[in-house]
Amino acid sequence: MPELPEVEVTRRRIAPLLVGRRIARVQTTAPSYFYLTPPDRLKSELAGRQVRALERRGKYLLAELDDGRRLLLHLGMTGQLYSSRATSVRLLSASRRASLSPEEQLVCEPDEHTHLELIFEDGEPTVRFRDVRKFGKVLLLEPGHSDPRLDRLGTDALDASGDALFAACRKRKIAIKSLLLDQKVFAGVGNIYADEALFLAGIRPRRSAQRVTLRECAAIADALRRVLERSIETGGSSIQDFIGPDGHDGHYQDERCVYARTGLPCRRCAEPVKKIIIGQRSSHYCARCQR
Ligand SMILES: [Zn+2]
């Protein structure tokens, strides 16, 4: 699932393909829960609009249009926002991949999972939003309007502070891992970077939030900012579907210490990494390095 670094990598690389360009027309698939704004309205209202800026709030992208409206995009579990010039096997369904030769896999045509395509007045490349599981979202916001999804977000996780985390932990009996996943605390944190930050800070994911000290909160916030910044530098994590808008994989998965490394030796002490379920989400940690 794309988290803050993957969305930020997407923003930085897709912005040059959006900002300053005028939308000629929009292609969509049939109406579904993917569209918070019906596809017919997207087609009629986006045509002729110029994109002024592309911002990120937590895991959301916001394209500002020249008429003051904003197009909200969320990548959900499997969303991919990319250039029509990108090629990657991650953009092909398994059956399609199997039916194509390696050369044919380099020609990228929008498939049935491509739910939004922005076609510009100046021609190629187009910008596509593909999402196999359709948990992604597209919403057109009227000028001056916001959305509860945005209003609920806490401080961006790149600005995480120990004091803010400690305040959020007071009188909370939930696991520190669950608290970190709460977007009202720090926006943009998901499973990968919560596990990694807790490992670096030496805190077990199941520890009750109210039992994490101020000093430990500072260590967690510091680790969180470091893993997020490092992941952005390396292009994000391509563990499942994520690709950069140019079709390139991220590389942070090669550096992660615990996430999805169940049974593999801890990079610090060689003890096998453990996996437990907290709040229906898998959590990975080292029982020797984390207390
Ligand atoms: Zn260890």
Active site residue 196: no
Instruction: Check residue 106 and give its pLDDT.
Output: 65
CA separation for the pair 173, 78 (Å, rounded): 32
Catalytic residue status for 125: no
**Identified catalytic residue from 3, 6, 8, 216:** 3
Tell me, in angstroms, the distance from the centre of ligand 1 to residue 274's CA. Answer: 10
Decide if 281 is catalytic: yes
Tell me, what's the pLDDT at 115?
97
Higher per-residue confidence, 107 vs 233: 233
User: SS3 of 275, please?
Assistant: strand
- Residue 123 has, within 13 A of its CA and on its CB side, a CA count of 1
Assess whether the previous peptide bond of 125 is cis (omega < 30° from 0).
Answer: yes
Calculate helix-pair angle for 191-201, 214-233, nearest 10 degrees: 130
Dig out the tokens for 129 from the structure.
């939003």
Q: Quick check: is 3 catalytic?
A: yes
96, 206, 267, 281: the catalytic one is: 281
SS3 annotation, 69-135: CEEEEECCCCEEEEECCCCCHHHCCHHHHHHCCCCHHHCCCCCCCEEEEEEECCEEEEEEEEECCCC
* Separation of CA 272 and ligand 1 centre (Å): 8
Task: Mark the residues whose beta carbon lies below 5 A from ion ligand 1.
Answer: 266, 268-269, 271, 286, 288-289
Q: What percent of the chain has pLDDT over 90?
A: 87
149: CB partners within 8 A, 6+ apart: 60, 72, 74
| Mean pLDDT of the region 155-181 | 98
Phi and psi at residue 178, in whole multiples of 5°?
Answer: -65, -40
